[in-house]
């Protein structure tokens, strides 16, 4: 059984059915939702870049390269690459 349904009316206007009635979401709300999703993604990207820089400085600061330091650096880099693939599209 389908509990909710979204139907595109025209342009950026969507009609939502949540089981109790129809709700029309204005295009301003769609644009706001896209802006919030993009803002979260940009904040996450900046956070992962900071983490990679932090791990790089910590790895190189003591003059020794240990396996644990390298694993932490590569793990942060892998999560950053995965985060890049999660970039939201500008459509609702």
What proportion of the chain, given as a percentage, has pLDDT over 70?
67
Domain residues of the chain, as ranges? 28-85
Query: What pLDDT, on the 0 to 100 scale, is given for residue 31?
Result: 79
* Residue 18: count of CB within 10 angstroms of its CB: 11
Q: What pLDDT score was predicted for residue 1?
A: 44
Q: How far apart are CA 46 and CA 16, in angstroms?
A: 34
Note the pLDDT tens digit of each residue in 22-58.
Answer: 555 556 777 788 888 899 999 999 999 999 999 999 8
Structural Rg of the chain based on CA atoms: 21
pLDDT band at 2 (very low <50, low <70, confident <90, very high): very low
Q: Is the pLDDT of residue 63 over 80?
A: yes
Structure tokens at 72: 């932490």
Main-chain dihedrals φ then ψ at residue 10, nearest 5 degrees: -165, 145
Q: How confident is the model at residue 7 (pLDDT cuts 50, 70, 90)?
A: low
pLDDT at 8: 55
Cα-flanking dihedrals φ and ψ of residue 13, to 5°?
-100, 125
């Amino acid at each position: 059984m389908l509990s909710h349904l979204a139907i595109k009316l025209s342009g950026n206007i969507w009609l939502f059915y949540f089981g109790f009635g129809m709700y029309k979401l204005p295009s301003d709300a769609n644009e706001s939702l896209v802006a919030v999703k993009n803002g979260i993604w940009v904040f996450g990207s900046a956070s992962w870049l900071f983490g990679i820089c932090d791990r790089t400085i910590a790895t190189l600061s003591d003059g020794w390269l240990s396996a644990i330091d390298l694993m932490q650096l590569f793990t942060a880099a892998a999560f950053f690459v995965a985060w890049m693939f999660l970039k939201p599209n500008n459509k609702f």
